[in-house]
Chains A and B, each alone.
Chain A
Amino acid sequence: MVSIEDYGNYDTAWCPGCGDFGILKALKKALAEMDKSPDEMLLVSGIGQSGKLPHYLNCNFFNGLHGRTLPPATAAKVSNHELTVMAIAGDGDCYGEGGNHLIHAIRRNPDITVLVHDNQIYGLTKGQASPTTQPGMKTKINKEGVFNRQLNPLALAISQDCSFVARSFSGDIEHLPETIKRAVEHKGLSLVDILQPCVTFNHLNTFKWYSERVYKLDENEYPLNDRVKAFEKSLEWGERIPMGVFYVNDRPVFEDSLDVLSSGPLIRNEVKTELVNELIDGFM
């Protein structure tokens, strides 16, 4: 049996009270409870405070570029589909710099889980607006308040038929690990938008602010594969913020569409010299 201790205990560079601690703890718990061993896990992250998370977990990791979590994660999964691949990103990372990759990863539907640390602010660069920053919030750049509309990642994902869409909160130590487990166990691209406070740079969306608003949605309210109902639900944001699994659609998965993977991981394929020579003969 895999235990939480197998995932190690590291010093972090996060601010005391950061929502990232809750996500790290929930992730370790979820992985241990699913009995995932560190050597079968690959965590791919970008840049931002979220991008550091894989450094604090004893497993395989690829901490790539800002916004570019999904392309390497997708290709890693294709290359060795026996690995459990997770993409760890932030709101600036996944919805700003890497927004295009998210749209196309949803279309492609590889079996990977995307955890987005959504603190509605840029932390690493010290307090600029992110795509999910609340309009009107004043920042060093937006002195009169942010004008741009707030991106709704859940509505975007559901509109594009993302195969698993959920929201959770870093402060809910029961709900978050359960949601992560369901996302990992779901076959296909799973997007989990995780609300988390940034204690240093976001003084509007605080732990208290979130705690007062989040509520668990009733999963019997509508069938989870009803895209229109799910979309409607995803629009709810304000005094009350629903969290839970909004939408599930067991769409065909990218790796399953690749016949070549049916005989085993791609990386085990050997060179086919004779076949190349046959092709060469075709040019004679």
Chain B
Amino acid sequence: MKVDLTIKIGGAAGQGLDTIGSVLSSTLMKCGFFVFTTQFYLSRIRGGHNTFQIRISDEAIKAMDEKVDILIALDRASIENHLDEMSDGVVIVDKDTVKLDDDFDSLFHVPLLKIAKDTGGNKLYANSVAVGASMGLLCLDFDVLSDVLSSIFERKGQEIIDNNIKAAKAGYDYARDNYPQGCKFDIRQPEKHSNKMLIAGNESVGLGALAAGLHFLSAYPMTPSTGVMNYIAGKAGKFGLVVEQAEDEIAALNMAIGASFTGARSMVTTSGGGFCLMVEALGLAGMTETPVVIFQAQRPGPATGLPTMTEQGDLLFAIHAAQGEFPRCVLAPGTPEDCFYMTASAFNIAEKYQIPVIVMSDQYLADSMFTCERFDASKVPVERHLLSDEEISSMQEEYGRYRFTQSGISPRAVPGQKGVLVGADSDEHDEFGHIDETQENRINMVHKRMNKLELLRDEMPVPEIYGPEDAELTLIGWGSTYGPLVEAVDILKEEGHSVNVMHFTHLYPLPAEKIREMLGGSGMKVCVENNRTGQFARLLAAEAGIGMMENILRYDGLPFTPQFIVDALRKKEVL
């Protein structure tokens, strides 16, 4: 029988949802399940109502399910808010701490606090009791959990490890002994994974940057991008790179540009509001032809918006930000694999074309954990496109940072290299970087810069198609909606519909001709986006002249689920 279960942990900020969620998901993944997790949290350090949701299956899964099978309720709000998401599930609750007016058949009382105190001597172990009880309820191997706890608490010493294992085992035994319906879920533990990893989008971006040989990262903390900065900062010493927390995002991008001008591979991380402050420097990167990678994890705006939720509302802003015209590249990974390989490739694109590259993620992709194929850093090419000292010494003429070439790409040297002086200017400039306000020079420089956009356009890959090529209905999406779209297609296929997905990761510049060919058929086209105004649909219309039959838009701060897409297609009578 196919396993497809969803576990939701609900509670207030500060109650340890993250700990329970990450230990449990890591354990289930090591049991051999495919695990997918999402987090919903409010913009506060304590209190509020937050959730951590884990879906497990013995087959590959790419999105969250809407129905909940096990609810671990750490507070009353968890039951009040989520009981209607359950059909035939179990609610794990400690009635000693969570006072309830009514009793339900689905409630399963586990005295988390009492067991924690009895076994570990401290209420802090209640989280491990909860994880243990969940494993017991699922009738899975306790040993896997024991191993996970040992490795998580390795640095805290043997006593802490032992207490956590004891607490978890007591919770496990309690569930096995006391749950009245025994092994209700009747699941078989699958074979263990051999080459899979469980990872969130933000960590994948961080790994991608490390694999690309990042030297310098400057950033100002901003949810939901901060995870990348934190992750890389934690590895800075080992990798010999510099992470600097700037005074503001203006400084952050100006710093990254200064570092890059000097020859460092550099990047910034931010969200929409911070990106607003970077816009001035974005143009500076364009004008001075300084490569830089900008990681932008979107959240619903405008202004402060919904700081901890998700949206794809910054696409057209990213494509058009800053005064004047200059080439840039906008990428939008859809999965952790994309986050890793595309972030790494962003550095190569940035340096090849000497342009800013914006990598667009969002809170959903940033914080969700996916089970995916192991990344391989050895498969990441590092292409610097810098003049070597030997090339410089054999140069016939004086070096000019902005030498006119057929491609528009000028050979790039960095200050400090013997035999060259490197000058850059935010003013319109001549081949040596000196201010030049003549019309002839202006036209030549505009052609030089904008030609790079056309070269890049030719290099941009076409979108991936999932499902039959000649389907009657094509769902179009970009970035983080990949998983929900693909699973929606799977559901519709089961129902006998002819549907496919065309998913875009390389958004700008769009290879318009090739896309027109791909989408030129007679099938219905529906664009699915996490925003109010259908920004990608508008981009497709503007760049490739392709119109949509319908748009499915979500802008309540939450990510798409496959069910949401299927329901919306029905509501709009597309199906």
Task: State the A residues within 8 Å of B (CB).
Answer: 13, 38-40, 42, 44, 47, 52, 54-55, 58-65, 68, 70-76, 78-80, 82-83, 100-101, 103-104, 258-260, 263, 265-267, 269-277, 279-281, 283-284
- What are the residues of chain B within 8 A of A68 when measuring CB–CB? 250-251, 254, 280-281, 284
| Total of A-B residue pairs, C-beta within 8 Å | 198
Query: A58 CA to B434 CA in the complex, in Å?
Result: 11
Query: A272 CA to B240 CA in the complex, in Å?
Result: 9
Query: A66 CA to B259 CA in the complex, in Å?
Result: 18
- Whole-angstrom distance from the CB of A76 to the nearest CB of chain B? 4
B424 and A61 form a contact (CB under 8 A): yes
Between-chain CB contacts (< 8 Å), 16 pairs: A38-B421, A39-B420, A55-B425, A61-B424, A62-B423, A65-B284, A72-B254, A78-B242, A260-B242, A266-B240, A266-B264, A269-B240, A272-B213, A272-B240, A280-B374, A283-B203
- What are the residues of chain B within 8 A of A103 when measuring CB–CB? 247
- Whole-angstrom distance from the CB of B167 to the nearest CB of chain A? 25
Query: A277 CA to B380 CA in the complex, in Å?
Result: 11
Task: State the B residues within 8 Å of A (CB).
Answer: 193, 195-199, 203, 207, 210-213, 215-216, 218, 235-242, 244, 246-248, 250-252, 254-259, 261-264, 266, 280-281, 284, 288, 374-378, 380, 382, 414-427, 433-435
A62 and B258 form a contact (CB under 8 A): yes
Query: A72 CA to B292 CA in the complex, in Å?
Result: 13
A68-B281, A71-B254, A284-B374 known; A276 vs B207 contact (CB < 8 Å): yes
Q: A283 is contacted by which of B199, B251, B252 (Cβ under 8 Å)?
A: B199
List the B residue with the shortest CB-CB distance to A107: B247
A75-B218, A76-B258, A275-B239 known; A280 vs B377 contact (CB < 8 Å): yes
- What are the residues of chain B within 8 A of A70 when measuring CB–CB? 251
A271 and B382 form a contact (CB under 8 A): yes
Chain A CB within 10 Å — which of B262, B263, B281, B421 has the most?
B262
B216 and A78 form a contact (CB under 8 A): yes
- Whole-angstrom distance from the CB of B426 to the nearest CB of chain A? 6
Query: A47 CA to B281 CA in the complex, in Å?
Result: 14
B211 and A271 form a contact (CB under 8 A): yes
A258-B242, A276-B377, A283-B203 known; A266 vs B415 contact (CB < 8 Å): no
Query: A274 CA to B211 CA in the complex, in Å?
Result: 9
Q: B211 is contacted by which of A52, A76, A273 (Cβ under 8 Å)?
A: A273
- Whole-angstrom distance from the CB of A282 to the nearest CB of chain B? 9
- What are the residues of chain A within 8 A of B380 when measuring CB–CB? 273
- What are the residues of chain B within 8 A of A260 when measuring CB–CB? 236-237, 240-242
- What are the residues of chain A within 8 A of B216 when measuring CB–CB? 75, 78-79, 266
Chain B CB within 10 Å — which of A61, A64, A270 has the most?
A64
Chain B CB within 10 Å — which of A63, A72, A284 has the most?
A72
- Whole-angstrom distance from the CB of A197 to the nearest CB of chain B? 23
A267-B215, A275-B239 known; A65 vs B280 contact (CB < 8 Å): yes
Chain B CB within 10 Å — which of A39, A83, A263, A274 has the most?
A39
A59 and B421 form a contact (CB under 8 A): yes
- What are the residues of chain A within 8 A of B382 when measuring CB–CB? 271
A277 and B376 form a contact (CB under 8 A): yes
- What are the residues of chain A within 8 A of B236 when measuring CB–CB? 260
- Whole-angstrom distance from the CB of B225 to the nearest CB of chain A? 19
B239 and A272 form a contact (CB under 8 A): yes
